[in-house]
Amino acid sequence: MPSSITLRLTTSEHHPVVERLWQLYQHDMSEFRGSYPNAEGFYPAGRLPLFLTEADKCAYLVHHDGRPAGFAFVRGLSSGLRVMGEFFVVRAARRQQVGRETAVQVIRRHPGDWEIAFQEENPGAAKFWRRVVADLVGPNYKDESRPVPGKPKIPPDSWLSFRI
């Protein structure tokens, strides 16, 4: 069990830290999506600004033992269907239950219907999310493959749907 995990809803003071962690997240994802940084060496912000500013979304900054360790972004707060938009834990905190505890805490903070997407070509993420969801709801979840909208050359995402 991790010694100390703190989840903080991000405020404008946290944005620089989340933006730097975003770069690490995008670097990790580049292995599976074939993406490169731009000419200045940065990955694009993508959906990041939306999670930091829109009312229907929230971003949690994760600290482990007082140090920035990742983030969890949730969308669908007002629609009734929560979606784990993005989720990241720095490599130093992986395999210490930091990701699992973070995911469980975030999901429990927003009870209701949930969906979580991940890429099968990322075996660590596939194993992680299926284990987390099974630990939360047992066999009471749906596991399906869906195409990535507007990106026909990318393999479909796997989606887990459940209620908590």
Q: Is the pLDDT of residue 57 over 90?
A: yes
**Mean pLDDT: which of 20-34, 102-116, 150-164 is highest?**
102-116
**Exposed/middle/buried for residue 12 (C-beta within 10 Å: 0-12, 13-18, 19+):** exposed
Whole-angstrom distance, CA of residue 149 vs CA of residue 154: 10
Q: How, if at all, do strands 113-119 and 141-146 pair? A: unpaired
Mean pLDDT (the chain, rounded): 93
Q: What element of type H or E holds 116?
A: strand 113-119
Question: pLDDT band at 154, cuts 50/70/90?
Answer: confident
Left, alpha or beta for 118 (phi > 0: left; psi -120 to 50: alpha)? Answer: beta
* Model-wide pTM > 0.85: yes
**pLDDT of res. 2:** 46
Alpha-carbon distance 94 to 11, whole Å? 25
> Does residue 118 have a pLDDT over 70?
yes
Helices (H), 34-148: 48-53, 98-109, 123-137
The answer on pLDDT for 144 being more than 70 is yes
pLDDT at 3: 59
